Amino acid sequence: MNWSAQQYVILVVVAGCTALVLRLFQLHRGDANPAMRWITASLGILTFSLVLQFKVVHTAVDAVTVLNMAGTLSNCATLLAAACAQRGFLHVVRPGARANTLLRWTFGVIVLVVVLFLLVPSNYEEVLANAGEPIQVPVTSAAGYLYLVSLTVLCVGLIRTSWAYVLVAERFSLRYGLVAISVAAVIAIAYTVVRLAAMVTYQLGVVVPAIRGNLIGDLYLTAAGLVFLGIALPLVGGRLGLDHLAHWWRVDRSYRRLDPLWRALHDEFPGLALDAPTRHAGFRHPEHALYRRIIEIWDGRLRLRPHLDPAAVPGGSAAEAALIADGLRRRREGVPVTDGRAAADNRPDDPDAELGWLIEVSRALPR
């Protein structure tokens, strides 16, 4: 199915409006924080920027102002949206950051963009004359150069703050919503690079068809669509069960990774398990099944302790795996037991470190 540029804009605007309604509903319920307010503001401003790109809206605005005023307002709104999003993420990752400086800088750039637009002529009339051609003429102006450079700076900052948020986000839908926003910022930088290249080559009289078609608009709309997805995903992910499903998958994956170690000990000491093992950790309470599996492993290790080599020195996960395998062999071969005080375990104190260490031991266990 071939989509025209305007149909693509409509599709992205509908996605933006949907995400905006969801965010506003959450704000109305009072389930909000300063970061969410700034991100909702960013969403609304970006949606407004895209609405200005509707041909009928663009034409109407230009008719009552001056040529390309709609495009300039859209550019300014894009800058403000990027600044608001970064302001929201700074609330989470660096609460003490001087984020107001960012907004003042952005407002200053917007004022300068408008001044340059009004004072320095552009080639917009030529752009309109060639609008239906396969090789288009890029809008080229001093205001355009300032807009693109400023947007690049804002997108670099947005990548840094959104990715820092990714590293601390716990919920699946929130984390991958932030990943979508980070990718959107990367694509937005690609948009600025391609558009700058189109403007420079145009002024040099060099025609590069690849960057003089729909690529610039497609990059912009793709970035905007990913922003809308990234903002909406944390809202709908929990309600659709994505967060629970992702959490279950992570726990079940750990559960299965422990299976070689647990099975080796269970085969030797069948009484370890209160119930028969299942294929999965259980969908409703996965942590309970994983916790039981960890306890049963340590219980099996404790029962195996009299059969461990008394001369063994506690070491890393590979050494522990070799020690357990050797202990199982000694038990099967009837090697005399010890007093059970040798070969103390290296059990980490932190639960997450403990799980990771046991998975490494299970992976290193000889098959």
Structural domain ending residue among the three candidates 208, 240, 272: 240
Structural domain ending residue among the three candidates 240, 274, 296: 240
The pLDDT value recorded for residue 344 is 65
Would you call 347 helix, strand, or coil by DSSP? coil
The pLDDT value recorded for residue 1 is 37
Angle at 242 between CA 239 and CA 244, to 5 degrees: 95
Euclidean distance between CA atoms 226 and 152, whole angstroms: 17
Euclidean distance between CA atoms 145 and 112, whole angstroms: 12
Average pLDDT over residues 318-337: 87
Split at pLDDT 50, 70, 90, the class of 281 is: very low
Query: Are 286 and 179 members of one domain?
Result: no
What CATH number has the domain bearing residue 79? 1.20.1070
Query: Is the confidence at residue 10, as pLDDT, over 80?
Result: no
Query: Are 229 and 349 members of one domain?
Result: no
Query: Are 125 and 212 members of one domain?
Result: yes
Query: Are 299 and 233 members of one domain?
Result: no
Query: Are 276 and 236 members of one domain?
Result: no
Would you call 272 helix, strand, or coil by DSSP? helix
Query: Are 115 and 147 members of one domain?
Result: yes
3-state secondary structure 97-127: CCHHHHHHHHHHHHHHHHHHHHHCCCCHHHH
Query: Are 130 and 213 members of one domain?
Result: yes
Model pTM?
0.75
Tokens 């970061």 belong to 35
The pLDDT value recorded for residue 337 is 79
Euclidean distance between CA atoms 253 and 231, whole angstroms: 28
Residue 262 belongs to domain spanning: 246-364
Query: Is the confidence at residue 367, as pLDDT, over 50?
Result: yes
Euclidean distance between CA atoms 42 and 115, whole angstroms: 23
Query: Are 217 and 251 members of one domain?
Result: no
Percent of the chain with pLDDT over 90: 31
Query: Is the confidence at residue 26, as pLDDT, over 60?
Result: yes
The pLDDT value recorded for residue 278 is 55
Query: b/e map of 199-225 (b: 16 or more CB within 10 Å)?
Result: beebeeeeeeeebbeebbbebbbbbbb
Query: Are 200 and 140 members of one domain?
Result: yes
- Give me the helix-helix angle, 172-204 and 69-93, nearest 10°: 140
The pLDDT value recorded for residue 242 is 81
Most confident of 2-16, 33-47, 77-91, 111-125: 111-125
Count up the domains in the chain and report the number. 2
Query: Are 231 and 256 members of one domain?
Result: no
Average pLDDT over residues 339-367: 79
Query: Are 146 and 170 members of one domain?
Result: yes
Between 219 and 241, where is the model more confident?
Answer: 219
Q: How much is the mean pLDDT over the chain?
A: 84
Euclidean distance between CA atoms 140 and 126, whole angstroms: 10
Structural domain ending residue among the three candidates 209, 240, 271: 240
Query: Are 221 and 280 members of one domain?
Result: no
Query: Is the confidence at residue 270, as pLDDT, over 90?
Result: no
* Amino acid (one-letter) located at 272: L
Euclidean distance between CA atoms 165 and 103, whole angstroms: 20
Q: What is the DSSP letter of 211?
A: G
pLDDT digits (tens, 9 = 90+) for 123-147: 999 888 887 777 888 999 999 999 9
Query: Is the confidence at residue 175, as pLDDT, over 80?
Result: yes
